Structure 1
Amino acid sequence: MAATMRGGNNVALAIILLCFTCTNNVFLLPSSSASSPTDDFLRCLSGKIPAEQVFTQSSSGFMAELTSSVQNPRFVTNATVRPACIVAASDASHVQAAVRCGRRSGVRLRVRSGGHDYEGLSYRAVRAETFAVLDLAGLRFVRVRAGDATAWVDSGATLGELYYAVGTANPGFAFPGGACSTVGVGGYLSGGGIGLMMRKFGIGADNVLDAMIVNADGELLDRGRMGEDLFWAIRGGGGESFGVVVSWRLKLSMVPPTVAVFTIAKTAGDGGGGGDAAALLAKWETLILQPFLPDLTIRVVLQGRTALFQCLYLGSGGCARLAATMRAYFPELGMTASDCHDLTWLRAMAFISLGAADAPLEGMLRRTNNLGTYVKSKSDYVRRPMGAAVWSALFADHLASNNAGVLILEPHGGVVGAVVPDMATPYPHRAGVLYNIQYGVFWWGDAEGESSAAARRWLDALYAAMEAAVSGSPREAFVNYRDLDIGENAVVGGVTEYESARRWGERYFMGNFRRLAAVKGRVDPSDFFRNEQSIPPLLQPY
């Protein structure tokens, strides 16, 4: 029998929900003598990319390719602004050809790795425009170098594929990634990448040693050729702003042969032996402040009246040592020996992602959820404990009324908060941050009907109620949880206006935003790589 989590089955579903065929084609161009940008783009690609890897809207495989890694079906309705074509790259030369042909023909590219962009901007546009999707799912090779504990991984690989390759190469190797196995490596690292191991090893982007990027001129550059400013920018500055990163060289971390995990569910308003969830959350907030527990990470998922405490312990001694630590610092949670599992790191990540201690590891290789639910997300950062009264009110006034709403609390501190400076990478939410909040709400039925409106009203009311408890000036947000509600770019004269982008940019990147814009101004002054929340080119001296 599978060893599953204790309680919280609905919450487990919510976690999975938030982790959000080809036919032979030929380039059939219109017979009209007037050539469109799309026609020119396709003509330019001919002979450079196999015809069966380019899908126009008239191709029989177009919709299958478009939806192949879509995690949120909100953005594949008939009202969605779709790409004129999709280029399914399987080699860096295909990326180079797509960039050069796009520049020449005036067709911009939107780049997709795992399809988890919460606003779908990697494969759709908000307003009508002509663009192509460059899909990197075919670029998914992972090469682990055991001798120096590094790995080269293509951007189109998922975190699950990376974990599987790393963990099967050596059970003592690990990489500090996220909890959701279907997230694309390219998108994860481009936004910085937070997760259960960052208190011990830093965020994902802190562990990038090199990268191969195709710049706006179609050149393939490594770290030495791209320069340190651009290398800094791509490790957390958001995707689709500076070029197309096709692969990353990662530093692998060393972990014990077995690590310890548990998942325990508690209920708000339960004053029994297990303690009330609101009081437990208040105690959990104080636990994050402890600087001497970097091996211990407990994230929390809230849904309805339930709080699910998910733990990953990376220290030696496994469950026995973890149980002693919990008795000393968090006895109120009531952890017992039956809650804990001693697992290899790879199996621990499968437990967190898939929900069972003996889940088949091959499940980590599944690339898409295919759940058919719609979702809207937002984010916050918390810099001071909220306390039991605020948590009680949150459950009573918001969470208890909507089982389709979920909050995920990711603790910071440790290495990510006290060792790595705010300006080391574009990810600035370090010193003083207790935890990140990801808000999500799900609905079924019509993508934009009454169910959508009701879900959005609930989320907006919750987000407004949280304002006094979270960071301010600016109210911080996480670029990997993209949210168009906080602002969109304005394009003036064919280039993104800097001031329009500051509204959202300084919430994602704070004091690092201006430097990102200066890098953009140097490497892509014509703003070829852009979307509704891409970094604008700052053309004046930094």
Structure 2
Amino acid sequence: MVTQISTILLFISFFTLVVPSRSRSSLVASSFIHCISYKLPSNNSILNVLYLPNNSSYSFILKSTIHNLRFLKPTTPKPLATITPLDYTHVQVTVECCEQNGLQIRIRSGGHDFEGTSYRSEVPFVMLDLKNLSSISIDMEKNNAWVDSGATIGELYYSIAQKSPVHGFPAGLCPTVGIGGHLSGGGVGNLIGKYGLAADNVIDALMIDAKGRILDRKSMGNDIFWAIRGGGAASFGVVVAWKIKLVQVPPMVTVFDLTKTLQPEAITLIHRWQFVAHKLSEDLLFRITISSTIDGRGGIEATFSSLFLGRADQLLEMMEESFPEIRLRKEDCIEMSWIESVLHFAAYQRGETIEALKIRINPLPNSYFKGKSDLVYKPIPYEALEDLWKRCSNVTSPFIHIELHPYGGRMNEISESESPFPLRKNVLFEILYIVSWMDDKDGKSSENNINWIRRLYDFMTPYVSKGPRGAIWNCRDLDLGENDVCGGSNFSKSKVWGYRYFKNNFRRLAIVKGKVNPHNFFYYEQSIPPLVLH
């Protein structure tokens, strides 16, 4: 223990010397490191998981899961220290010492958050990167699994497939997304019609609260367990592990991708799709992606994609009856296992093995991007879709991606108050808008592209949800509003954005926060504010 403390004190002295212009931050960091060095037992060295700015691996760890290059600039605020815990004790001590030293904490499981709130802050902070907490334990007899928050969706899918070809989990499409953030925000995926959100299939969790205690579902209580399954768990504590319910999938599924580039045909099909997709069998997910063409000719295209939990002949019969306009042929359909469909929708090359799901490198290159989201309750008029197509066709950005993801099925059966995620019944589809670009030397590209997507979002106002206009928590958007920089959270002020994500559930979330964390230790730009009732 003496050797460990001596080494850490040497780290502290060097850290203080190399950043004299930030003396207060240096002293706070020194006090924080002193705290964790004394709290950890001698056989649990903090040196294995601590990265300070003078450490040669600091930059690599920080950048390793930053997928939005907008937040990888020299001017982006960096953490005073990064902790990559190897066990839950490291998390407990980090929370305790941040709380004692008045440091904000940022919790990162995958780094895919649209606004980078898991790894940046305008005030001194410590980043807790959960990447090493990635254990997955599957119990096939009970049809459930424990998965650590630092595991990725791809790793979970892979682990399930190793145990059974007829089991899966209703999570998202991108395999490098961290489980922690995905589950805590709800989690929309291809099985949403049959099994609901990923968070709807969580049956227990382990959370470390502001006092450093490890709580399970029973000890945290119903209110907190309700809040962390769709309400943003990082507002309430550090969820280190989730117990999930596995779901049944058939040994063979069918997929197709049909791309339309001609304006009249594509718009007619999109317009018709709005009346049909949410009413189809719960075994059929039928979505649309409007995106820039990738063959260099310019313009945009609409791709109609499907995952059907059954064979091609059944799908052909169903589509002929419900959506004959798409003119689906048997040669358009590909039968494969469910785990192979995961690779298909994640845009891996045909023939890639499922081993690729264990690789944490995103199959698509990182870029600068800005995203926004909407919910649609009434079909968008044909004329508005024409205007949308025209606006997207004229954009100068290298890449746009607008995804129309239908709801219906199981989502109509779950009440708005069952979990914090209220955007369920009568929703026709969700819209995800993304604009991305590959360079930004002078800042002009970022300004132009962000302004473009904001104008598109404004244009869509008459055609999407109202009172309030809904948004998806896992598609975080700081344009909707944010908390004060220095930790101030006012419920009345936060309602501006909070009701957009959670509707009336926002007040209940704030009341839960007021009970478990009234001093608002777990804070970030869109964390739930505490509402303390007297």
Alignment TM-score, normalising by the size of structure 1: 0.90
- Shift in Å, 1:412: 0.6
Indicate yes or no: 2:358 matched with 1:365.
yes
Task: Render the CA deviation track for 1:244-299: whole Å, top value 9, x for unaligned.
Answer: 000000001111111111111111425xxxxx111111121111242x51111111
Q: How does 1:390-405 map to 2 (within 5 A)?
A: 390-402=384-396, 404-405=399-400
- Shift in Å, 1:491: 6.3
- Shift in Å, 1:448: 6.4
In structure 1, the residue matched to 2:114 is 118
Retained in 2: the 8 A contact 1:109–1:133?
yes
Retained in 1: the 8 A contact 2:106–2:128?
yes
Retained in 1: the 8 A contact 2:8–2:33?
no
Indicate yes or no: 2:425 matched with 1:431.
yes
Gaps of 5+ in 2: 1-6, 17-22, 293-299
Letter in 2 for 1:405: I
Question: CA separation in 2, counterparts of 1:446 and 1:356?
Answer: 29
CA separation of 1:165 and 1:52: change in aligned 2, threshold 3 A: same
In structure 2, the residue matched to 1:11 is none
- The farther-off stretch of 28-37 and 426-435 is 28-37
Q: Secondary structure at the match of 1:398?
A: helix
For 1:73, which of 69, 74, 79 is the aligned residue? 69
Retained in 2: the 8 A contact 1:54–1:88?
yes
Letter in 2 for 1:62: Y
For 2:134, which of 129, 140, 161 is the aligned residue? 140
Give the share of equivalent positions with the same residue, in percent: 39
Question: CA separation in 2, counterparts of 1:91 and 1:53?
Answer: 10
For 1:309, which of 289, 299, 304 is the aligned residue? 304
Letter in 1 for 2:89: S
Indicate yes or no: 2:33 matched with 1:42.
yes
Q: Secondary structure at the match of 2:379?
A: coil
- Shift in Å, 1:359: 2.2
Q: Secondary structure at the match of 1:278?
A: helix
Q: Secondary structure at the match of 2:275?
A: helix
Question: CA separation in 2, counterparts of 1:447 and 1:419?
Answer: 49
Retained in 2: the 8 A contact 1:407–1:437?
yes
Q: Secondary structure at the match of 2:235?
A: coil
In structure 2, the residue matched to 1:19 is none
- Shift in Å, 1:495: 4.1
- Shift in Å, 1:169: 0.8
- Shift in Å, 1:216: 0.8
Q: Secondary structure at the match of 2:188?
A: coil
Q: Secondary structure at the match of 2:141?
A: helix
Question: CA separation in 1, counterparts of 2:437 and 2:508?
Answer: 39
- Shift in Å, 1:479: 0.9
For 2:381, which of 371, 384, 387 is the aligned residue? 387
- Shift in Å, 1:440: 0.6
Retained in 2: the 8 A contact 1:164–1:361?
yes
In structure 1, the residue matched to 2:47 is 51
Question: CA separation in 2, counterparts of 1:39 and 1:107?
Answer: 12
In structure 1, the residue matched to 2:516 is 523
Q: Secondary structure at the match of 1:39?
A: helix
Q: Does 1 or 2 have the higher relative contact order (CA < 8 Å, sep 6+)?
A: 1
Letter in 1 for 2:314: R
Retained in 2: the 8 A contact 1:70–1:368?
no
Q: Secondary structure at the match of 1:148?
A: coil
- Shift in Å, 1:142: 1.0
- Shift in Å, 1:356: 4.3
- Shift in Å, 1:96: 0.7
Task: Render the CA deviation track for 1:84-108: whole Å, top value 9, x for unaligned.
Answer: 0100011111111111111112222
- Shift in Å, 1:327: 1.2
Retained in 2: the 8 A contact 1:114–1:156?
yes
Letter in 1 for 2:340: R
For 2:337, which of 317, 335, 344 is the aligned residue? 344
Retained in 1: the 8 A contact 2:207–2:241?
yes
CA separation of 1:362 and 1:251: change in aligned 2, threshold 3 A: same
Retained in 1: the 8 A contact 2:8–2:37?
no
In structure 1, the residue matched to 2:408 is 413
Question: CA separation in 1, counterparts of 2:276 and 2:366?
Answer: 37
Aligned residues: 505
- Shift in Å, 1:453: 1.4
- Shift in Å, 1:375: 0.4
Question: CA separation in 1, counterparts of 2:506 and 2:385?
Answer: 33
For 1:506, which of 473, 478, 499 is the aligned residue? 499
Question: CA separation in 1, counterparts of 2:480 and 2:282?
Answer: 33
Retained in 1: the 8 A contact 2:278–2:429?
no
For 2:158, which of 148, 161, 164 is the aligned residue? 164
Question: CA separation in 2, counterparts of 1:116 and 1:383?
Answer: 28
Retained in 2: the 8 A contact 1:268–1:307?
no
Question: CA separation in 1, counterparts of 2:493 and 2:161?
Answer: 44
Task: Render the CA deviation track for 1:407-450: whole Å, top value 9, x for unaligned.
Answer: 0111111101x210011000010011111111111112227611
In structure 2, the residue matched to 1:95 is 91
- Shift in Å, 1:387: 3.4
Question: CA separation in 1, counterparts of 2:451 and 2:532?
Answer: 40
Letter in 2 for 1:528: F
Question: CA separation in 2, counterparts of 1:420 and 1:158?
Answer: 26
RMSD (Å), alpha carbons: 1.8
Retained in 1: the 8 A contact 2:277–2:287?
no
In structure 2, the residue matched to 1:293 is 281
Task: Render the CA deviation track for 1:306-362: whole Å, top value 9, x for unaligned.
Answer: 011121112x4x111111111111121122222212111111111111344532211
Alignment TM-score, normalising by the size of structure 2: 0.91
Indicate yes or no: 2:140 matched with 1:149.
no
In structure 2, the residue matched to 1:476 is 470
Question: CA separation in 2, counterparts of 1:527 and 1:380?
Answer: 29
- Shift in Å, 1:373: 1.5
Q: Secondary structure at the match of 2:12?
A: coil
Q: Secondary structure at the match of 2:523?
A: coil
Retained in 2: the 8 A contact 1:444–1:451?
no
Question: CA separation in 2, counterparts of 1:194 and 1:300?
Answer: 15
Task: Render the CA deviation track for 1:495-515: whole Å, top value 9, x for unaligned.
Answer: 411122111111010110000
